[in-house]
Amino acid sequence: MKSINPYNNQLNKEYKELSGKQIESIIANVEHAQKKYKHSTYGERSEKMKSLAELLRKNKTQYARLMTLEMGKLLGESEAEIEKCAWVCDYYADNAEIFLADEVIKSDASRSYVHFQPLGIVLAVMPWNFPFWQVFRFAAPALMAGNGALLKHASNVPGCAMEIEKIIREAGFPDNLFRTLLIPGKMVGEVIENPLVKAATLTGSEKAGSSVAEKAGKNLKKTVMELGGSDPFIVLEDAEFESCCQTAVTARMINTGQSCIAAKRFIVVEDIANAFEDRVKELMQDRKAGNPANSDTQLAPLAKPEFVEDIDRQVKESIEMGATLLLGGKRMKGKGNFYEPTVLTNVTPDMPVFKEETFGPVLSVIRVQNEKEAIEMANQSQYGLGGCVWTSSVERGEKIARTVESGAMFVNGMTKSDPRLPFGGIKNSGYGRELSHYGIKEFVNIKTIWIA
């Protein structure tokens, strides 16, 4: 398993994959640790989780540089990601006991209530684009609920995977409660089949999610799936123009466009479409490409060479089908996995940049005549993760937010995840929720207690 720097495609380090026997041994060790850990108090777990948040902040630069080295994220974005991980640790340290307190419900019993118990070992299959955040938004609630955890991280960020296991142990959690499995994707099925593994969560592609869900379903195990999106960014004629344009580019370019909740389909009413296209083109074209570890770099590489090929295919096929190229549209010369900041307009629903999830610095504009058509265009997608709408009328924006088919909608703000709010999607974007009190309840036994 190789860690390769996307900036120059040079090898960082090689890691040895685990054998079948090693995997079985690790799972048995996690189960042994979890059986003891589940009897710990919320206060004991909270103390460890607070220590974990402290360690993350203390070593922020170290972890951020590792992320940047392995998957090419701008260093400033990497540092912000570590801060967010510390936040989610603090959030569940402070609130897990409240969220999982017995819930009294009146019935024909003299006393009846709901009691929440950990399931056991939860397998997390995580992606490379947010190597720490994706893991911690699962791990913090799972561990606070009393579960054990196995991490199968993306194969291009093994260093991050091992460092996460190390820091959780250093925070005081039992040695084998959280373990990383350095294995190829084809071995995930065997892990799910292990009777000691009780549930699985995955963030990734539809294909990977379907495969894991099928295997878990055959073995009657609970799953949560976050499978990407093609989020609409709706711009109405009464939007605050400059703020909207600035946010549009930020929402598209975060993590070089490699985010499930990055805005991808910019649905703009005809009255302001020309002005919107001109402004976002100005904002996109001035970004300086370079080493993502340098503070003055504004455009980072994509995580793998094949991702450059894929985004280039989507752009070229869309142009052949009638999209107009306003900016960029090709791979950048030189070393590294760089693709030019790209703006396409006259995009229609049959084009790849509309139908597929675009993971790269490509901003696609879809023109519509009015609000009704904007909503219809937003919903004309196989995905339903997030989205946003821009208008000077909050009432109008809220009405549209209720109508768009997605797991989240933001009014006059870019879509983002927040530990306090549930996160997840509908349609091909998956099912189940992470974060908030909903997320911690995904992997517990919701048990009814009835007393005569």
Residues marked active site are found at 226, 260
Q: Are 178 and 141 in contact (CB under 8 A)?
A: no
Between CA 44 and CA 48 the distance in angstroms is 7
Contacts of 414 (CB under 8 A, 6+ apart): 247, 250, 251, 263, 388
Contact 386, 402 (CB under 8 A): no
Structure tokens, 212: 């894991």
Q: Around 408, how many Cα atoms within 13 Å sit in the side-chain half-sphere?
A: 26
Reading the block at residue 405, the tokens are: 């088919």
Backbone CA torsion sign across 135, 140, 141, 147: positive
Q: What angle do CA 150, 154, 158 make, to 5 degrees?
A: 80
Pair 13, 297: CB distance under 8 Å: no
- Residue 402 has phi, psi (to 5 degrees) of -70, -20
State the Cα–Cα distance between residues 77 and 63, nearest whole angstrom. Answer: 12
- What distance in Å separates the CA atoms of residue 364 and residue 377, rounded to the nearest whole number? 13
